[in-house]
Amino acid sequence: MLSSAAVTANIPAADLERARAFYADMLGLTPAGEVPEAAVLVYHMEGGTSFSIYQTEYAGQAGHTVAQLHVDDVAGEARALQARGVTLEEYDLPGVTWQDGVASLPGMGQAAWFKDSEGNILCIDSGFPERAG
C-alpha cells in the first residue's frame, strides 16, 4: 500500500552545476551521490530522508513550495541562511505575522521561504503540523 511508502522530493535544475554550487555554498549540503548519465544529484539528510536535483529545462517554473526542510530552530536557520547570502521571501498570507523573514503561522509553527539558484521555492519549517508546538 502507498501509505507505507517513503517519499522523496525531486527538485528541477536548469543548470546542475550552478545548483550544486548553490546547495553547497548557501545551504551547506554536499551530494551523497550522482548519476552523471541522467544528470541527477542525490542528497541524503541526517533525518533519514533524501532528495534529488535533476537537470531539466522546466526548472523554476513552479509558483509554489517544491520542498520543505523540517528544522528545530527556524529563526536560527533563517539567520544562518541570510548570513550566507540567501534572500528570504515574504508572502501576503492571511493571519500570518512576519519577523526578519520568518513567518509565524497560527496552529502550525514557524516557516521561512527562499528560492534556490534555479528559482525553485524551498521552505524551512518547524515540521508542521506534526512537530508544531
pLDDT in tens, 90-121: 999 999 999 999 999 988 899 999 999 999 99
27 and 53 Cβ atoms separated by less than 8 Å: no
Question: What confidence score (pLDDT) does residue 95 get?
Answer: 92
Q: How far apart are CA 11 and CA 120, in angstroms?
A: 8
Question: What confidence score (pLDDT) does residue 129 get?
Answer: 62
The three-class DSSP label of residue 5 is: coil
Whole-prediction pTM: 0.91
Mean pLDDT, the chain, as a whole number?
93
Q: Which residue ranges form the domains of the chain, and what is each CATH number?
A: 2-125 (3.10.180.10)
Q: What is the dihedral of CA 69, 72, 75, 81, to 10 degrees?
A: -50
Tens of pLDDT along 53-79?
999 999 999 999 999 999 999 999 999
Query: The cell 501509505 sits on which residue?
Result: 3
Beta strand 109-115 with 102-105 is antiparallel
Q: Strand pairing partners for 104?
A: 97, 110
